[in-house]
Amino acid sequence: MNLEKRRAIFSTLKESIPNAKTELNYSSPFQLLIAVILSAQATDTSVNKATKKLFSVAGSSKELSKLPINEIELYIKTIGLYKNKAKNISLTSKIIETNYAGKVPHDRTILESLPGVGRKTANVILNTIFGDPVIAVDTHIFRLANRINLGPGKNPLEVEKKLTKLIPKEFLVDAHHLLILHGRYVCKAQKPTCNECAIFEHCEYKGKS
């Protein structure tokens, strides 16, 4: 896929999704961090339902770090792997509160050292909160990058590196959310709605099996 086509794809996506942003609900960088930790192997809708209850009781690192793990579990028990996630968000809250005065650090190494935070979660925070030109490759982006030949790769890291290199620089900050939303609602895993696709004319998939 050449540069002209890649630029056309992102220009079109930006027009069709003018306010591309995360669908996770949050009111602070800390809340987004917790929501993203909870979102692993879970839908944004299920996470939003859980965090609505959780954040109403403990919406800051100070409050959440003091909440017993068994209470955290009660608020997030509808989410998969909730017991392990409860431990992770409790530990992460304590670290953020104690070591960083309740502020989420703008530092990849520190973020990835937090319990429950891997490269993908760190990239979400770096991009969404700090506006860094990085891409968190989730299942939607991984599928989309390979399906339409935008940045094919055998694993998320390989796809991330290719996309970061191949996406025109002027679209890198927005690319993460543009691709996720397009993959979630149009270029779906099962039965992609090619007839509704804004970038169909530039796509190298075009409904192939």
> Using one digit for the tens of pLDDT, what is the confidence trace for 52-62?
999 999 999 99
What is the distance between the alpha carbons of residues 114 and 44, in angstroms, rounded to a whole number?
A: 21
Q: Is the pLDDT of residue 8 over 50?
A: yes
DSSP state of 171: G
DSSP state of 197: -
Q: Is the pLDDT of residue 181 over 60?
A: yes
Single-letter amino acid code for the residue at 132:
D
Q: Give 103's contacts (C-beta < 8 A, 6+ positions apart).
A: 29, 30, 96
Q: Where are the alpha helices (DSSP H) in the chain?
A: 3-16, 29-38, 44-57, 61-66, 69-76, 82-100, 108-113, 119-128, 139-147, 156-166, 172-185
Number of H helices, E strands in the chain: 11, 0
Within its chain, how far is the Cα of 149 from the centroid? 21
Residues 118 and 152 in one domain: no
Structure tokens at 151: 């940045």
Q: What pLDDT sits at residue 209? A: 43
The CATH number of whichever domain residue 113 belongs to comes to 1.10.340.30
pLDDT interval class at 204 (50, 70, 90): confident
Structure tokens at 99: 């070591």
Q: What pLDDT sits at residue 74? A: 96
Number of domains in the chain: 2
Q: What pLDDT sits at residue 115? A: 97
Instruction: Give the mean pLDDT of the chain.
Output: 94
The CATH number of whichever domain residue 144 belongs to comes to 1.10.1670.10
Residues 62 and 101 in one domain: yes
Domain range for 184 is 3-20+134-202
Q: Is the pLDDT of residue 207 over 80?
A: no
For residue 209, being part of any structural domain is answered with no
Residues 76 and 147 in one domain: no
Compute the radius of gyration of the chain from its Cα atoms.
Answer: 18
Residues 74 and 143 in one domain: no
Residues 48 and 112 in one domain: yes
Q: Give the chain's end-to-end CA distance (angstroms, integer).
A: 19
Largest Cα–Cα separation, the chain: 54
**Residues carrying an active site annotation:** 120, 138
State which of 128, 155, 185 marks the end of a domain: 128
Q: Is the pLDDT of residue 22 over 90?
A: yes
